[in-house]
Structure 1
């Protein structure tokens, strides 16, 4: 029985063999040509020999996804799972595998760096880059890398896909000001998180003369961090009438402390989060927050890496954020 070949598909589609190869490898062709080739593939019953294609192209057909958050954060924060889901969706319909590398300590980082080699993976999506990240400093510069945040680093083959944290920070702060808040505290994210710095910059811009450095505390992303920061801020300034949080989970911790101290939300203290995780709509009261397109960040990172490896023009991507007003502010 004759096994269909590239030549059979090319004849059926009325195109050259090279055009069929470009379609199979995610290269640049017109939508009309791609449709013709895909129809011919189905008509001929062609099945690609993945191993042979990999050898011919010099590709591994593997992307690496890197996570560097502490294990507690990885399993408690839905952000990372949502980004991974988005990245995985970008691989649908391809033969590209995803290698997940977790690097939360020095031993894991060294092991991850050994795997982040052009002989093993075609490109990298770093889901949780940090400022002064040792992973980035050790990466092979020949390996295309997409960051799911933005870091000011001079390195070839580096792109970023990230939400507009500065805009989100501005939106949250502007909303509190328009609601009449004047003594506004800020629970910022960790100092080494680029997104946390962007959100704080947005807060500072929007608050202007209302910005008080003494009412800013950097905290881990989780609810415990938010609770600890809220308690410390109230001890500094009992007259706080609003708080901006760098994550929804911080906001939940902050609201717990406010409740234990007899502060009503939003009557006494207005609370704004950031992320718009599913839990934000279920808090009591429901949480006003800034929505960022977390799943889309991962998906766009995968698509960007596709374009880079196909030799197409590629640029970093900034995705919009938006304010979601609920009962807490």
Structure 2
């Protein structure tokens, strides 16, 4: 069986600017009804991002075979070429003519307050990216346009390809009925601890009850590790201490990549979660979602030190 992983989700550019002041000193409460402000941002950087892009990047670091499934705009040429240079398959990236790739514009002040604008662009057309006929060992349906997430889930289910439902930033789009529908198609659910509470509220079911109908539910808890619900048990997966806590952006995506890699290697859910925890701890020590670049040997050494397990040897 192929060990490829279909990674359905967004690809985006993140433009991050730093205002060397404080928003509160420039936004007057008694003038909020006619707000007009301008901020000088001497520091700015552009990052490659999006859930599908981030997961694919991390899965490739592990030696996996990611196949990102996303819709991008006319401006995505350098992103696509970057992935080609990394030998990441790009055949399932669909360019929507006349659109921009999804973009997030973030301005941060000295108090870490943020003003964010998001342009979905080509992401709005993700349902048009038909994956019928694709083959893979596993897949993930990560945050994207809602219609696209359902379209991918239905196609994966019809093809008999097991997939993880990753709610993430798409949480506001899904009501209780939507969640029940998606969970009826998926084999696993991944959420952080806050999202878990929202899912429980909207579905009227606990994580343990949801897990009874799935292979597994994984709840990430930041520096406290993760909770794995599988086989009628709730297992605490101990964290890996990060070398530094620099930037949490993309940590969830790194975690998903570790999880998927383990599953494609036939690992247990527990060992897959352990690798996932390690990947999250590696990512948080680096700024931006795709700037960490440990070698596979370095990841393996950290995995053995943390949990006593090793990455499989790859054929040369």
Indicate whether the TM-score tops 0.5.
Answer: no
Query: Which is higher, the Rg of structure 1 or of structure 2?
Result: 1
Of Structure 1 and Structure 2, which has the larger fraction of its residues in helix? 1
